[in-house]
Amino acid sequence: MEFLHGQSVKTTIVWIFFILALVGTFVLTKKLGQEGENMASVFLGRGAIHKILLFEDKAEPISVTARPGDEVVFMVLDDSRHTIAEERSSKRDARLESGEFGAGDSYTLSFSNPGMYSFYDRMNSDIHVTIIIEK
């Protein structure tokens, strides 16, 4: 009888850990879905991921506010081609530029300095995006 009692305590402990794991998974999944973060950002303390969806003639959203270390991902959701380039004030200024990418591709940026960064699509001049990096 004592053996059976010991087994039921062990079984109860296993069930408690199983239930805690399920609840933890649910809470983590909820956090990831609400904040746009990925699993690595939660466990490693890295920044959030902000998505900019690219279509043939528009981007959604056209403005993103992020923090240093966050990732901003331009994602193509149709069959169009894009080249994302940073707007610059003079021809001598260096700029970020993605190179051409298309359906199913993405281009990721991460900023370490606060400021406002403006980008446009060299293949469709109607597409403009502003990225604001706050402290």
Which pLDDT score is estimated for 15?
79
Q: Say if residue 11 is in the same domain as residue 61.
A: no
Q: What is the pTM of this model?
A: 0.64
Q: Say if residue 103 is in the same domain as residue 68.
A: yes
Q: Say if residue 113 is in the same domain as residue 65.
A: yes
Q: Say if residue 89 is in the same domain as residue 66.
A: yes
Q: Say if residue 68 is in the same domain as residue 126.
A: yes
- 5 versus 93: the higher-pLDDT residue is 93
Which pLDDT score is estimated for 47?
77
> What token pair was written down for 111?
């900023």
pLDDT over 80 at 61, yes or no: yes
Q: Are 76 and 82 in contact (CB under 8 A)?
A: yes
**Measured in whole angstroms, how far is the alpha carbon of residue 75 from the centre of its chain?**
11
pLDDT tens profile 4-47: 555 787 888 877 877 877 777 766 665 555 444 445 444 545 57
Domain total in the chain: 2
Q: Say if residue 107 is in the same domain as residue 127.
A: yes
Does some domain include residue 75?
yes
Q: Say if residue 23 is in the same domain as residue 79.
A: no
Structural domain harbouring 15? 2-35
Q: Say if residue 59 is in the same domain as residue 13.
A: no
> What token pair was written down for 134?
């706050």
- 117 versus 32: the higher-pLDDT residue is 117
Does some domain include residue 41?
no
**In the predicted model, what is the mean pLDDT of the chain?**
82
Return the percentage of the chain with pLDDT > 70, whole number: 77
The H-or-E segment that residue 30 falls in is: helix 2-35
pLDDT band for position 50 (cuts 50, 70, 90): very high
Give the 3-state secondary structure of residue 7. Answer: helix
pLDDT band for position 94 (cuts 50, 70, 90): low
What CATH number does residue 61 fall under? 2.60.40.420
Does some domain include residue 57?
yes
